Amino acid sequence: MKLVLRWFPYGDDSVSLKHIRQIPGVSGVATHLTRIPVGDVWSMEEINLVKDEINSYGLEMEVIESLNIHEDIKKGLPSRDMYIDNYIESMRNLSKAGVKCICYNFMPVMDWYRSNLYKDLPDGSNSMAYSHSEAVKLTLEKITSSMIDGSNNFSLPGWEPERFGQMAEDIKFYQNVSPEDYFRNIKYFLDAIMPAAEELDINFAVHPDDPPFPLFNLPKVVNNKESINTYLSLNASNRNGLTLCTGSLGAGIENDVVDIAKTFTSEGKVHFVHLRNVKHTSDYDFYESSHLSSEGDLDMFAIVKALYDNGFDGYIRPDHGRMIWGEVGRPGYGLYDRALGAAYINGLWEAVSKLS
């Protein structure tokens, strides 16, 4: 396994590569060329610019999170073929730059969402939280403005401002898209890109829907064991794999994340892991606790053991952290708590490997 940390280029991160380099065991970063509009080709020039900066700190750029999918592909519009061609060209360029794993998601309209980006915790820290009963009462405008206002002036992954104007119309569009139609659009995309993924030696790792509950009646795609199975069965290539995001899946109270980790790791389908913990305050409400098992609902030891025992050899990153020690940064993506998460993951990995 290789441990990485998420990092945003172009000065759009409060955390520096210099500091990431100092976290024990971290070999590289998972990054994203945020200044290229979704759907455009990631050119060699743009990729190398970011890669050279990362490499100059002794870190690798083997993981991309995310190479986002244009909404026309999700909607199954005729223009999707052009966007798929662009996507494959970006894959070719990324492979030339040594990228081995691409994380992406197939959530329609909106990427991840939290109803509170700064929930105060009793220890004086704060973290992101979600209340489904509150979220369903909100308008799209309230949702987008709360994300923009809470972003601390950093870009929020998956919330590209150029998409905001289109969201209301897209939500309407999906009201007439059945889950079967949506899965047909996914299959169309997967069948188009998997031959290139095979040829280029790139693993694809779909990120689960975050949170796993539907808003605005939009289709949910990857939110439990069954839907992961369906998604992975759409294209049989082993390149068609999963980002096991323990926090996203763990938000679904009925999900057995240890069992999901065992099942899909043993099938060779888990290429990337996001490790974080969640604490439920009700079946549909949760906040992001620190990584430690005892602070949340997930047994992080059992999850790491399931990965190790089933031969996991992909990438792991600590996922969102709390904001601690007065740090100010992009919600979920400060340095301190993610570094504590990395140290914890290193400890769990060493323990499971020495115990076996």
Site string for ligand CS2, 104-133 (x = CB under 6 A): xx-----xx---------------------
Nearest one of 333, 220, 213, 197 to 274, comparing CA atoms: 333
DSSP secondary structure string, 135-168? HTTS-HHHHHHHHHHTTTTSPPTT--GGGGGGHH
d(CA 246, CA 251): 8
Identified binder of ligand CS2 from the candidate list 132, 239, 274, 330, rule CB under 6 A: 274
Q: Which two tokens stand for residue 318?
A: 């600590």
Return the one option of Mn ion, ligand CS2, none that residue 104 interacts with (CB less than 5 to 8 A, by type). ligand CS2
DSSP class of residue 11 equals T
DSSP reduced 3-state for 311:
coil
**CB-wise, 152 or 352, nearer to ligand CS2?**
152
Footprint of ligand CS2 on residues 194-253 (CB under 6 A)? 207, 210, 245
Footprint of Mn ion on residues 231-290 (CB under 5 A)? 245, 274
**CB-wise, 60 or 288, nearer to ligand CS2?**
288
Site string for ligand CS2, 29-68 (x = CB under 6 A): ------------------------------------xx--
Q: Which two tokens stand for residue 166?
A: 């289109």
Nearest-approach distance from CB 325 to ligand CS2, in angstroms: 21
**CB-wise, 69 or 88, nearer to ligand CS2?**
69
* Interstrand relation of 126-131 and 116-120 (parallel, antiparallel or unpaired): antiparallel
Cα-flanking dihedrals φ and ψ of residue 153, to 5°?
70, 15
d(CA 109, CA 185): 14
Q: Which residues bind to Mn ion, rule: CB under 5 A? A: 245, 274, 319
Q: Which residues bind to ligand CS2, rule: CB under 6 A? A: 65-66, 103-105, 111-112, 157-158, 207, 210, 245, 274, 319-320
